[in-house]
Homo-oligomer: A and B are copies of this chain.
């Protein structure tokens, strides 16, 4: 259940182009201040702070107060839980298609 909630939070955090953009930017350049993230996104500081809070709660971003500014960088979370669910879902679908193919092959083999 706890695991489920964590995946939920990660997926919900990713379900927004601004937030995915922040992750991509931090991934490329390492760290940025809130205003450095807000400006290219055409967003107010308050708006960006809300997005950062969602990302921080999901563990995808870490923030640290340095002097008078807040530096943001990628958090400890690396999307492993989302990838794990995607992998198990795809595997399940593949197994099902394999079984269907096998069944189809058997049925075709049965006909004269």
Contacts and interface: CB of A to CB of B under 8 A. Distances in A.
How many subunits of this chain does the assembly comprise? 2
Interface string A72-104: 001000110011011001101100100000000
A43 interface: no
Given A86-B83, A86-B86, A4 B17 contact: yes
Interface stretch (A22-30, A33-41, A44-52): A22-30
Nearest to A78: B93
A27 to B, nearest CB: 5
Interface of A: 4, 7-9, 11-12, 14-17, 20, 23-24, 27-28, 30, 74, 78-79, 82-83, 85-86, 89-90, 92-93, 96
